[in-house]
Structure 1
């Protein structure tokens, strides 16, 4: 009986082990860096993918602009059966071809190619903007995560303070009110932790949406807010880099070139096209002389040329429209260049200000704040100060620590904004 029970237990254990072996181990969370997040967004973002697909429309327009017009086939047949001359007939077969004069075909293709170039630069500018959005969202998640860690530290300190208060209450050193004050602070810090954890989820959802990740994917961010200090170039040099590398400026340059090509095309459109054709005709007729009917068939070959006479319309309206567009494109380019300079100046100033604020916190303030908190806690344990002094010192500690995290976040965001304004990394490589 005992042997059978032992065998049954061994069988149950073997079955359980086999089932556990069949279940795949839980996959460890995937860690993702900032660069990986940016690459994923640039590759998978639906808006960018659709914009890249729509490039094919302009590719087709460029092909269409260079196509030679199709020849025209003319067939004409006539009979005299309805007029009482059934033996009379005519059959004509011709083919004609329109020839575009003034290099219209090449100029149309030039317009289409410049339009395609402008669109591709606009897509690149959208990539630049998306990269800045992903970087900002990534930093927001890091900030929210750091604040959660700070909130957990606050809970831990309040728990330690509560233990000290309970010990002193048991010893009769403090009134019961002090212990209740500590419990209130502990409850408040626990509620703050819940709010901050929700902030992590919200910011992560925003980031993962920009990356176009599936709903089941939830990678762990591997970066930190405390990035390395990088030597920043002067604002004048950064402006020059931006003028050369900004894709939105390159798109406007391409649009300007397109406007020049449209002016040349409009002038060429004032030259009429030539249509040339060749035809073959067969004429059959009959004639009766002295009661004898004779039939005659003749063949003729003809050549035909036709061209509109540019007396009233030499495409004056088209030329005026093209010149107006070129003028508008030039004004837009000048305005955008001035805007880029202002954007670089603003981003450079924001980064400089963020560095100054961060340097204030790094000048022993945090270390001194930590020492003050420890001394106050020890003084309360020894009964030298009241509970309100400890609570006030803890609030000050976490407020300053939170402000330090915000300063780190502001510096990183300003750094990313400057890179986006210049459209190149700080080391000078193009994005």
Structure 2
């Protein structure tokens, strides 16, 4: 590689670093813990806020279900003026009320109450999903921060190596090509640092969007990928806990109860309602007897009852529809329960596998790599090994270190998914 090409690469990296240095600086504030991030997201998320407001629609439906039918007012006026009997007239005033039979009112309230319960559990399930998203985004930012620190360490090591190479070149111990190889590695590590800085910015933006923070708010994070409480319960206990805690299962169970209430209501709708009425009439008439004209006014009070005769329609279609919905709700609940068991089992296996991968890094392998790197760097300084050996050892060190960070991140993500599948803190307690 030519000298001009290397200088151009170094210049590009320097310009890129300068551009990133003028990026918006995160506002200084108290470090944000994972729990605080979750609480903030659940409080501020606009989708959840709008769905909480929509619960008022079901509240209105419950209010409507408990109302009685309005009474009916009937007024009738008749006159004989058009038939030549202007003195004859009739005035009738009546009021009627529909009486719900079959306890329809309480059955309608039962349907709306079950509907309200199902909606509340669906809302809780959306909160569970949002919590998992926030946990994942939070862990992604922590991983990006750790990788960024590792990249800075790589840049620093390459700068130190370049200083050693320049000193050895000045002493005539190495050819100029070795110094150029070190410069290439330094440029590559600086480019990786730039990419990781951009990735960290994207990750923070995603997290703060989920939290619905104001544009100017950019708190630092206080969490760590190393702080994980392993589950103390077995997969069987976790499945049982999920059956008790999962809000989506509770929503489907409430929907099944609503279907039962709809069946009872449909059966009650087959009983016709009774309409009772009370009427007051005044009838005025005139008559002529023996050339003498007289007027007569009479008052009558009447009671009226009416009810449809359920000969043809006894709400058979409504009952069939309600029973079909009930069967469908039962099948959905059974299917969802089986799915939840599979989710818990899969999440538990994923966590065990993540723990197994992480255990490979716990046998002091990182410490040994660090020691090997230092020995190789010192050997190069003394002229005992070539530059390629140092570069290869550095690559191995950073690849293994990045693998360790990835394993920590994978274990945390697996734990988050297991907690979400159970819908509880991993060692008990509802989320």
TM-score, normalised with respect to structure 2: 0.93
Aligned 1:212-361 pairs, distance under 5 A: 212-361=212-361
- Across the aligned residues of Structure 1 and Structure 2, the Cα RMSD in angstroms comes to 1.0
Distance in 2 (CA, whole Å) between partners of 1:47 and 1:363 is: 46
Look up the match of 1:204: 204
Structure 1 runs of 4+ off > 6 angstroms?
Answer: none
Local SS of the residue matching 2:377 = helix
**1:175 aligns to 2:175 (yes or no):** yes
Whether the aligned pair in 1 keeps the contact of 2:111 and 2:261 (CA below 8 Å) is yes
The C-alpha deviation readout for 1:262-311, integer Å capped at 9, x for no partner, is 00000000000000010000001111223221111100000000000000
Note the alpha carbon deviations across 1:159-182, whole angstroms, 9 max, x for none.
000000000000000000110110
Q: Deviations over 1:112-156 (max 9, x none)?
A: 000000000000000011000000000000001111000000000
Shift of 1:84: 1.1
Partner residue in 2 for 1:89:
89
Alignment of 1:41-190 (within 5 A): 41-190=41-190
- For residues 123 and 236 of structure 1, the distance between their equivalents in structure 2, rounded to whole angstroms, comes to 27
User: Would you say 1:193 and 2:193 are equivalent positions?
Assistant: yes
- Partners of 1:227 and 1:61 in 2: CA distance: 47
2:312 & 2:29 partners in 1: Cα distance? 75
| Structural mapping, 1:356-395, within 5 Å | 356-395=356-395
Seen in structure 2, the aligned counterparts of structure 1 residues 27 and 260 have a Cα distance that, compared at 3 Å, is: closer
Give distance in 1, aligned partners of 2:394 and 2:232: 37
CA contact (8 A) 2:27 2:219 kept: no
Residue by residue, what CA displacement relative to the aligned partner does 1:330-357 show, whole Å, maximum 9, x if unpaired? 0000000000000000000000000000
User: Residues 28 and 220 of structure 2 are in contact (CA less than 8 Å); yes or no, is this contact kept in structure 1?
Assistant: no
TM superposition shift of 1:229: 4.1
| Alpha-carbon distance in structure 1 between the residues aligned to 2:229 and 2:41 | 26
Equivalent residue for 2:9? none
**Structure 1: which 5+ residue stretches go unaligned?**
1-25
Alignment of 1:2-17 (within 5 A): none
Unpaired stretches in structure 2, ≥5 consecutive residues: 1-25
Displacement of 1:70: 1.1
Deviation of 1:406 (Å): 0.5
Post-superposition Cα deviations, 1:31-86, rounded to whole Å, max 9, x if no partner, equal 11000000000111001111111111101111110111111111110111111111
Partner Cα separation in structure 1 for residue 143 and residue 43 of structure 2: 25
Q: What secondary structure does 2:360 align onto?
A: helix
Write out per-residue CA displacement over residues 193-235 of structure 1, whole angstroms, 9 at most, x where no aligned residue.
1110010110111000110101010010111111144343100
